[in-house]
Chains A and B, each alone.
Chain A
Amino acid sequence: MSLAPDLAPAQSDWQAEVWRLLGEVKDPEIPILTVIDLGIVRYVRGASRDALRVGLTPTYSGCPATEVIRRAVAQKLARAGFGEVVIETQLAPAWSSDWLTPAARSKLAAYGIAPPAEAVSNPKRLFGAASIECPRCHSAATRLVSEFGSTPCKAHYTCTACLEPFDYFKCI
């Protein structure tokens, strides 16, 4: 089971164009991230630009952004002149914050959201949570306020050095 998106080794021009366009579709709740940054585009398949299927995976089961993202993807491709576009939901393998791209992690930090501190697959994770760095002053002296923040994917922290509250993109 491959954890990486299904990128065909030799892509046709239209497939490359789809991936490029999807790189412009923003997450409605964290608009600095695109659907590519989030790692939720799982495949682009089809016979031609008039019959293609895009596989998306939800971040959290109940995330209200999922429906908005599906519509945004369909609209983006329709406007670029693609024909029949079917958006499919792929549940397995389940999305993990490990799939955020390196670009996504630096964008999050610059935006004031601490990126996931460690890989979910890291065995050390079993022995207590890592320390979360403040995205503003970079102090490690931070405190968990709540496991749940303003969206399903974030927790709420406070920095005890600069006293700023901040969001932390959870590890799942």
Chain B
Amino acid sequence: MSESVAHVLGEEPRLRYVLRLADTSLILGQRLAEWVGHAPALEEDLGLANIALDLIGQARLFLSYAGELEGRGRGEDELAFLRDASEFLNLTLVEQPNGDFGKTLVRQLLVAAFQLELYEALQASADARLAEIAAKALRETRYHLRYSASWVVRLGDGTPESHARVQAALEELWPFTGELFAQDSVDAAMVAAGIAPPAAALKAGWSARIDAVLAEATLVRPGDSPFPWHGKRGVHTEHLGYLLAEMQFLQRAYPGAAW
């Protein structure tokens, strides 16, 4: 992490950890919201919008908590709309562009299965605030997983065209999943404090869920590979900047605008 980012965010590992959770939900919610008015059918438009709404709601809970931990008077809105890309600590996977409907659902499946494992474990966190947000988010995440899994099965076990497209999406997105289970010093501090589960411990449960869906979808699981992306340390792919430009435009152009 660069010095400037460390300065902006402070040295508190818990704050960084909470921002990782917050930003992962927020950026994925914003990505899904890009589908509004563009999904293949009205039902799927509503489905993706509802998942986006859940994720943004979860992000608000995490961001409010992050603002309190930071103690500099920044609330959820300042943290969402007035930070630059290098200060966002989301998983790199969630900022990847939507692509076609199939790619969006593959991404959703990979993230929802991870969040399910994570939130189940976080319910037992030594941080009571995180435990209660996780318990709340968990109930919603089960629906996200069910929805995305059912679509990946339909598309994977669908026509040769849909099968080829979701298999290609899976191969494109798979390298980003390495970051989900990689532990750095922030994670280690959280594990030591009993606040977070060890990232690697989530992988078996995640793999079992993903493998079951891929088998039914007749898709082939790609091999794991090294990953050079470190979104959760503020090092992003170029895609995040474009997303923020759209998401933050209003507050940047009209500071303090409210309705």
A interface, CB within 8 angstroms of B = 58, 60-64, 91-96, 145-150, 152, 156, 170, 172
Contacts and interface: CB of A to CB of B under 8 A. Distances in A.
A145 B43 contact: yes
Contacts of A170: 143
Contacts of A95: 136
Given A61-B54, A62-B54, A62-B57, A148 B136 contact: no
Nearest to A57: B136
Q: Which secondary structure characterizes the binding site on chain A?
A: loop
Contact of A152 (B43, B50, B147): B50
A61 B57 contact: yes
B137 A61 contact: yes
Given A94-B135, A172-B143, A60 B61 contact: no
B143 A62 contact: no
26 contacts: A60-B53, A60-B54, A60-B57, A60-B140, A61-B54, A61-B60, A61-B136, A61-B137, A62-B52, A63-B57, A91-B132, A92-B131, A94-B135, A94-B139, A95-B136, A147-B143, A147-B146, A147-B150, A148-B51, A149-B46, A152-B54, A156-B43, A170-B143, A172-B140, A172-B142, A172-B143
A149 B50 CA distance: 8
Contacts of A58: 57, 136
Contacts of A96: 139
Interface in B38-91: 43-44, 46-47, 49-58, 60-61
